[in-house]
Structure formats: structure tokens, C-alpha cells
Structure 1
């Protein structure tokens, strides 16, 4: 099993939005970065777990855990001219972008804030991608040691 982190702006799609979906499940669409896409397409698998991270908000934080319930498949929003994630260069016969389905496993009672995570950047979270300068990816792998350390902060 692999571990991941998914970033989402809570004003766009929050963990509470996911909790309101049927079966607490939704497709994770709109990823428009090739490296993040490659992670989803080539490495992410059904059964993997991911942290749900609220970004670009007053208090960025890991707010819960989701499970990948469907392997990568074409992101249909890329083909819809009325969708904000439309990509005119994406071709349904050779899709450029993918999405996965995720199901909410747990919403944390107390979010693990970015400030809390930063306190451990030179110890238990050394080399954790979220804390790296210039990290802009919305989806990325989390090493098992980092996953376990973050889980111990709960």
C-alpha cells in the first residue's frame, strides 16, 4: 500500500463536502499538473490511503484520511467546455488527465495544522514534501515513516 496527500482549497471542495457525498465518495478531478497526474496514473492504486489537506485557507491543515476506491481513469471534466477544468487540448481518445475516486475514512477531531507539522521539519518530518520549499503539487506521495509520524501527532 502507498500513502498520499491530496490538497484541496476548502472553499472549492472541503472534507465536509466529501462527507455529504453519497457513500462519502467522490472523484478527485481537476488535477492539471503532469507530475501529480503521473503519480495518480502510474503509482496510485485502489486501497491506498491519503491525507486530506485543506490548503490556501486561514489555517492550512491535514483534516482527515481518504481511501482510493478506484484506480485512475480519464478525467471527464477536461472534455467539458462548461467546466472550469476544461482543457481544449485533451482528447477523449487519448486522455491527457486522470482522476481517481476517494472515500472518506475519517475526519480528524482536531486538524493537524501546517504550523504543527513545521515544528518537526528537522526531526520526524525531515524531507516531508509538504514542507519543502516550492512544493506546489496538489497530489504527492507520503513516505511510510512520515505517515506514521503524522498519525502519532493525533
Structure 2
């Protein structure tokens, strides 16, 4: 199993929107590195769901439930989506400022390349975020 972080502006698409839909595809990715990360996802992989812009916090966990397939929002075959289901809303959000203060997360892609919308997460980083959500 691999771990990821997916980012969305909560006023555009929030974790609660995913919960309400039950299952949805992750569309609109127009960055090659983020696209390659979507292509690397496999069913069963877990993703931290991050609210970007104003909130800047990990708020939930989503599970990938499909292989990648063409993005239905474009006719350009370079872009793909995967399907996610909500797995768990975090007990409390883990804010970017707290992530940046945590030495165990200093090498996290979110800290080093915060603009990337779909990014890999190491298991230790994933576990630390979940631990921080419980504190």
C-alpha cells in the first residue's frame, strides 16, 4: 500500500463533499507530476485529504478504489483520474503550520513543494499526521 496527499480548495470541493457523494473521481489535475502520481495510485492506497488556500489543513482520509482512467472533464487524453471513497474524518484538523513545526515531517513533500496537488507521503509521515490529529 502507498500513501498520498490530495489537495482541494474546500469552497470548491471539500472532504464533506466526498462524504456526501460516497465515491467520486479526482479530476482537474493539470500538472504532469501530479498526474504521474495519480497514475501510480492503486486500489487500497490511502490519501490524506488536504484543504488548501484559507484552511491549509489535513482534514480526512480517502481511499483509492480504482486504477487511473481518462479524466471525463476533458477531451485531452494526457489527463487521468482515480476514484476515491471517504475513509475517515480526522478528529481534529492538522494545520500546515503544525506540520512545518514537526521535525518528523520536515522532508514531507507538502513542506518542500506545497503547490503540488497530488503528492506521495511516506508511511511514517502518514502515521505522524494521524497521531497529531488525535492530540
TMscore range, shorter length: over 0.9
SS at match of 2:6: strand
- Whichever of the two has the greater Rg, that structure is 1
Q: Which runs of 4+ in 1 moved over 6 A?
A: none
- Equivalent of 1:105 in 72, 80, 87: 87
Matched, 1:19 2:19: yes
Q: What is the root-mean-square deviation of aligned Cα atoms in Å? A: 1.0
1:87-144 C-alpha deviation (Å, 9 max, x unpaired): xxx2xxxx11000000000111311111211111xx2112111011x53110010011
5+ long unaligned stretches in structure 2: none
5+ long unaligned stretches in structure 1: 80-89
Task: Tell me the TM-score normalized by structure 2.
Answer: 0.94
Task: Tell me the TM-score normalized by structure 1.
Answer: 0.83
SS at match of 1:13: coil
Aligned residue-pair number:
133
Distance in 1 between residues matched to 2:115 and 2:56, nearest whole Å? 14
Distance in 1 between residues matched to 2:14 and 2:114, nearest whole Å? 21
Which residue is 2:104 aligned to?
124
Distance in 2 between residues matched to 1:111 and 1:126, nearest whole Å? 18
